[in-house]
Amino acid sequence: MDPLLVGEQPAIPKPAPVWLLYVIFALALAGALVWATFAEIARNPSRNATVDLSPYGLVTIRLTTVPSPPLPTGTVQLSFMAMNPRQRSVPLDGLSYEYGRDGNDQVVGSGEARAMSDGSGMFMGGAQFLDVGDWWIRVQVRKGGTQGEVRFVLYVKPPQ
């Protein structure tokens, strides 16, 4: 008879490692953050649009708003920057815009953006969005005898 077997006690099942619960919780939290980030990106479409201004080539128009996202209270500052594929500023002869509610082609407002005096190539304008929801902005750019048009969609957020 083996002396080790004489005092043998029944085997007690080992509890699941606690670290496994921490790993599962961390993965769930990371998944929720990724899901929320992708939902926000999908809700805020790109603010870059490209127009062909032949013979000058492709020009990307970048739109920024202050405040961002735009609000339906007061005037929203619109900034337009024209860039070539090398991300260098493209001097434009003029930039005008008009805007309205998405899903409706009726123009609510329009304006002629003014070039900044610092030579940066940035154009500034303003818009007043009347209510919350999706709005479009149609931008007409001119360089030499060439004209082009791009369109942006913005979500106007309720004031907090």
At 39 the pLDDT is: 66
Q: Of the CATH numbers 1.10.3470.10, 2.60.40.1930, 1.20.1440.230, 3.40.50.970, which one belongs to the domain with range 46-156?
A: 2.60.40.1930
At 8 the pLDDT is: 64
Choice among 13-22, 80-89, 114-123 with the minimum mean pLDDT: 13-22
**CA angle in degrees (0–180, nearest 5) for 143-146-152:** 80
Give the Å distances, CA to CA, from 93 to 47, 79, 84, 141: 21, 16, 15, 8
Quote the CA–CA distance of 40 and 43 in Å, as a whole number.
Answer: 5
Quote the CA–CA distance of 79 and 100 in Å, as a whole number.
Answer: 17
Q: How many CB atoms lie within 10 A of CB 149?
A: 13
Quote the CA–CA distance of 141 and 95 in Å, as a whole number.
Answer: 5
C-alpha torsion 105→110→116→120, nearest 10: 10
Average pLDDT of 101-106? 92
Q: Percent of the chain beyond pLDDT 90? A: 54
Stated pTM of the model: 0.70
The pairing of strands 48-52 and 58-66 is antiparallel
Q: What is the pLDDT of residues 35-63, one digit of tens each?
A: 876 666 555 555 899 999 988 899 999 99
